[in-house]
């Protein structure tokens, strides 16, 4: 088997006395999509932010293309992580810039396009996420939440990155738009041959996007397997989660 695009081993992170990640192991094979599921506050966002270098883990190993980014020189780590395009959970659009500049921000920063081409390029990418050319000149605050999410998605995929992270890409979208976005993600990942990690709470979405799935629970990956087995596995934690039952090993109400 070829080398995984991303390999995470024994990753640990605590905030003060609160342990969030307690030894996470994870593989993303080249050109595949991994969906990460798990309850609210189990550290899914912290996990991908650690891979991105936005959160510094306490211990463990994160390999991209077989190189440990935590041990690499800052310049090399930046280079490795530079392959990652990220859709933030809340969009994180730059509200001082119009939509078109948001979408082409990475391309402009890498000098892959010129400023006067940027608007047309933005319109092109926006069309892929189902947004019209009229949106390009608006400011992010003039958009609905769902539109912001799609602009953020457009920004994340604009540079056609080799690795894509999607933090809850379909939360806040109507079911149809959710399905459209899922399709788009699948299309992008397949077309570019990218490897991706998507965080989601939506089981239908997980089925559509994911090749593989991992369930994060109490700081560890308690279950990992093919995404389609999410709904059929007998693992009690996964079962309770996917069927959304209040009774079971996961005690939401009793958690601090």
Partner 1 sequence: MNRLLDLVALLGAAVLGFVGYIGEVSLFALSGLSHIFRPPYYPRLVGKAFMDIGYFSLPVVALTALFTGMVLALQSYTGFSRFGAESAIASVVVLSVTRELGPVLAGLMVSGRAGAAMAAELGTMRVTDQIDALSTLSTEPMKYLVAPRLLAGIIALPLLVVLADILGVAGGYIVATEKLGFAPGTYLSSTFSNFEAQDVISGLIKAAVFGFVIALMGCFNGYRSKGGAQGVGTATTTAVVSASILILALDYVLTQLLFVK
List residues binding ligand ATP (CB under 6 A): 15, 20, 38, 40-46, 89
How many residues of this chain interact with Mg ion, rule: CB under 5 A? 2
Q: How far apart are CA 142 and CA 132, in angstroms?
A: 14
What is residue 89's DSSP assignment? T
The residue from 59, 76, 95, 248 that contacts partner 1 (CB under 8 A) is: 95
Contacts of Mg ion in 56-115 (CB under 5 A): 89
Cβ atoms 67, 77 nearer than 8 A? no
Q: How far apart are CA 155 and CA 153, in angstroms?
A: 5
Q: Return the closest-CA partner of residue 161 out of 75, 58, 79.
A: 79
Q: Which does 95 bind (CB under 5 to 8 A by kind): Mg ion, ligand ATP, partner 1, none?
A: partner 1
Work out how close the CB of 109 gets to partner 1 at its nearest, in angstroms, rounded to a whole number.
4
Q: Which is nearer to partner 1, 21 or 163 (CB)?
A: 163
Does 105 bind partner 1 (CB under 8 A)? Our answer is: yes
- Written as six digits, the tokens of 25 are 């192991």
In DSSP terms, 85 is beta-bridged to: 164
Q: Which is nearer to partner 1, 15 or 252 (CB)?
A: 15
Buried b (16+ CB within 10 A) or exposed e, 79-102: ebbebbbbbbbebbbeeeebbbbb
Work out how close the CB of 44 gets to Mg ion at its nearest, in angstroms, rounded to a whole number.
5
Provide the binding-site residues for Mg ion, judged by CB under 5 A: 45, 89
**Which residues of this chain interact with partner 1, rule CB under 8 A?**
49, 52-54, 81-82, 84-86, 88-90, 92-96, 105-106, 109-110, 155, 159
């Amino acid at each position: 088997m070829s080398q995984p695009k991303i390999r995470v081993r024994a990753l640990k992170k605590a905030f003060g006395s609160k342990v969030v990640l307690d030894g996470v192991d994870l593989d993303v094979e080249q050109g595949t999509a991994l969906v990460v599921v798990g309850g609210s506050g189990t550290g899914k966002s912290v996990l991908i932010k650690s891979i991105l270098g936005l959160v510094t883990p306490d211990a463990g190993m994160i390999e991209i293309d077989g190189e440990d980014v935590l041990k690499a020189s800052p310049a090399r780590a930046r280079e490795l992580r530079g392959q990652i395009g990220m859709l933030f959970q809340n969009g994180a659009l730059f509200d001082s810039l119009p939509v078109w500049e948001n979408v082409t921000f990475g391309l402009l920063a890498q000098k892959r396009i010129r400023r006067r081409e940027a608007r047309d390029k933005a319109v092109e990418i926006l069309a892929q996420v189902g947004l019209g050319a009229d949106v390009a000149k608006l400011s992010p605050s003039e958009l609905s939440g769902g539109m912001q999410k799609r602009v953020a998605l457009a920004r994340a995929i604009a540079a056609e990155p080799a690795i894509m992270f999607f933090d809850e890409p379909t939360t806040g979208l109507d079911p149809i738009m959710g399905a459209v976005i899922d399709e788009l993600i699948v299309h992008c990942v397949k077309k570019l041959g990218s490897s991706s990690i998507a965080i989601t709470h939506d089981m239908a979405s997980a089925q559509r996007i994911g090749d593989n799935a991992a369930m994060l629970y109490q700081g560890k990956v308690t279950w990992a397997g093919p995404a389609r087995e999410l709904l059929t596995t007998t693992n009690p934690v996964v079962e309770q989660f996917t069927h959304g039952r209040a009774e079971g090993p996961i005690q939401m109400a009793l958690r601090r």
